[in-house]
Structure 1
Amino acid sequence: MSIGNSPDGNFPEDERPFEDDLDERLAERPSIGRALQQARIAAGLTVDDVSNATRVRIAIVHAIEQDDFATCGGDVYARGHLRTIARAVRIDPVPLLEQYDEAHGGRPAPTPAAPLFEAERIRPERRGPNWTAAMVAAIVAVIGFVGFTAFDGGGDGDTTQVAEGSTPTTSRPASPTPKTGKPDADPKPDPTDSAIAAAPRDKVTVQVSASDGRSWISAKDHNGRLLWDGLLKQGESRTFQDGSKIDLVLGDAGAIQLYVNGKKIKDDFQPGQVERLTYTKGDPEVG
């Protein structure tokens, strides 16, 4: 007598696993591109609107809505585009990222930015120390010290301050300035928090600082000419300037702090997020 099984050793019909039901549920789930397209239409947005909001090219947005991720340039970029577009059309990006990982062999392991872009970086030519410049600087420092000492010792007890970083260029003592009782000239303003706060109005100035880690950075001018391409280590910064436009690619936007035309950009970039950004002379409208 058998208990719990049919005489032939098979499971009863009502006790068989539910693999078929799981496959049916997965088949009914819309694709990633279809889900994004439906959310965009429901939000009343066009592909142009999504492209302007995310800075993802129109052709890439169209391709993703057709479930074609080849134009993204790899899983890391594809996941970044999915997260950015999902937020623009007001849906949760987490289920879409999980669905993408299931279809593409799981979430990619984090890859350091340096090896990923090693082939494209322009390595600076290694040079030895510039002994000529060091000798000239030393001679100038000695002459400046001697001149300052002679000038300071020849006065009648008056002391003259030399601005930090300047070198005296005259050998004769300056005429004493008569005291007229008028207040001194307007004091120099304190230095601002940003090195580019006094950015010229006729140009676009962008400063990139690696405040929370390191990130690969690429910057181009309005003609597409490469201004810089390399790894920005934590604590380092770069400043780029052009007459009309700066195009940036941030390999890890969460590690970067941006200052555009003297104003701090407060975008909530996530760690590991790839961002393509463009700034002009009028940016940002709200700093």
Structure 2
Amino acid sequence: MSIGNSPEDDRPSIGRALQQARIAAGLTVEEVSSSTRVRMPIVHAIEEDDFSRCGGDVYARGHIRMLARAVLLDPGPLIAEFDAEHGGGPAPTPAAPLFEAERIRSEPRRPNWTAAMVAAIVAVVGFVGFTLFSGEDEGSSAQVAEGSTPDKTKPKPTTTKPVDPKPVPSESVIAAAPRDKVTVRLSATEGKSWISAKDHNGRMLFDGLLAQGDSKTFQDKERVDLVLGDAGAIDLFVNGKKIDDQFESGQVERLSYTKGDPEVG
């Protein structure tokens, strides 16, 4: 959806653009609210171009950005339009004056020459004493060595215990999925996607964005229900087997899997 190149009279407002993108993605206001943590009344108000419930322009920009990403819409043009309608973006924070940095800078420490000289004298005296003591020690050691009998006993051979070989890595957890449960794994390999997963009782297991490179695994004793906001970005594994259905980029899919699958529900 483009809102930048059409005439001004035909261009949808910020709220209308977000609403149209949400409907095109097959998402409800409740699902968008759950994935962005923006309360449902505020989502409704923003879709009606009412930003008074956001708590200020800064929060309004943040809500617009999160809602746009949840419905796979570029937030940049929407933020620019909001700034144009509400007096521009936030004012930049002024840099600290240079004289404050100079005032904080500590004075350089001067070298302590007296302490250095004392340390050098102590080092010289210690070295001389160590040399004299070592010379006397070497003489006495030589006399004792001459009268001693060399030890002819052979050293005992040492035995080393062989190192146990490293265990061979086992197969993946997905391949060893339990047969008494349904196991579903989602991997975002082609981009990010909003996903929702529920168990057979309708309890929410996960509801949010899955970034590129991330994975999620869900299990239930009977069934797992999925909603994929961008199915073309997801690699899907069910009970240890990859689902080979070719989903298109941007395609919204609602799927359901049981212990007897993989078969698309």
Question: Normalized against structure 1, the TM-score is what?
Answer: 0.38
**Structure of greater relative contact order (alpha carbons < 8 Å, 6+ residues apart):** 2
Bigger Cα Rg: 2
**TM-score, length basis structure 2:** 0.41
